[in-house]
Amino acid sequence: MPRVLVPPIKCQGIKTKLVPLILKNVPSPIVGRWIEPFMGSGVVGLNVKPRRAVFADQNPHLVAFYDALRNGSITPESVRSFLEEEGALLFERGDDYYYYIRDRFNANGNPLDFLFLSRSCFNGMIRFNNKGEFNVPFCRKEARFSKAYITKIVNQVAAFRQVVAWRHWAFRCQDFLDTLMDAAEGDFIYCDPPYIGRHADYFNGWTDEDENRLFQLLVSTKARFILSTWHSNKYRSNEYVENLWSRFNIVTKDHFYHVGAKEVNRNAMKEALVMNFVPLCEHIRQSRTVQIQLFGTH
């Protein structure tokens, strides 16, 4: 497998370590469009590199940032200049400056401020309150934007721009219902919704009703799809996998998320890929579940 490209926006639940498994199951070529109703970091589509794509999310700041990369209003050069200047002020003034940037972003929505916050907030979380304000605290690393770290982010911006340069990609801020209802035969859908019972914020809250609406849309779609969801951890299982998604083919993989404040609270979770076609990485019969144990993911 080629090296996995990492996007410049950092967020919890990013699928970087699952990209190789997902790519093994994406048919090639994709005849129609690649469609992501829950774009998030965009890491999966970035590595699929489809010719035509629709990336959608209800978070307007994610959409605005990636659209700015697409249209060239944000460049590697502008990112380097911005992070060098703001990073130096963060080092000089400490957490007060982080909260100054956070307030400025909540007032103006500058995409570069959003990048700054996503790379200097606690655990790379993206969370908003019910007023739509970014409210994640500082990571308490005043020297966060070292020269090497800025170069790493700039290289990620450059890689993204190189991928999108000659492709027809659209970025839309809209509900997943609108995105999925636009899908047609020949399109390929990758769904990474907020995990039911595990995650909620202002832009990405997820309810039982949402999970059921998503199920109904995917049951009826003429497009092929892969859905990412959680299968189980050592404490409990995802009841929706058994009650809804078990009618499809499911591949699982143990995964580890670094989102807890303390190491003791950071536990492994079994991820599930749900597909309405036979997984390409395994020759199995319809509705049979395959478990793939991959090591080195922790």
pLDDT in tens, 160-180: 999 998 899 999 999 999 999
Pairing of strands 34-36, 188-191: parallel
pLDDT exceeds 70 at position 272: yes
User: Tokens 């093994």 correspond to what residue?
Assistant: 24
Higher pLDDT, 84 or 260: 84
Grouping H, G, I as helix, E, B as strand and the rest as coil, residue 81 is helix
At a CB cut-off of 8 Å and minimum separation 6, what does 149 contact?
Answer: 119
Answer yes or no: is pLDDT of 229 > 90.
yes
Q: Give the separation between CA 20 and CA 260, rounded to whole angstroms.
A: 25
Both structure tokens of 172 = 């839309």
At 197, the pLDDT band (50, 70, 90 cuts) reads: low
Task: Name the region of 80 (left: φ>0; alpha: ψ -120 to 50; beta: rest).
Answer: alpha
Write out pLDDT tens, residues 46-84: 999 999 999 999 999 999 999 999 999 999 999 999 999
Domains of the chain, first to last = 16-58+174-291 (3.40.50.150), 71-160 (1.10.1020.10)
Mean pLDDT of 210-234: 94
| pLDDT in the model for residue 115 | 98
* 286's tokens: 């319809």
Token pair of 181, please?
Answer: 């209802």
DSSP one-letter code for 264: G
Out of 199-203, 204-208, 215-219, the most confident range is: 215-219
d(CA 281, CA 26): 9
Cα 154 off chain centre by: 19
pLDDT for res 291: 45
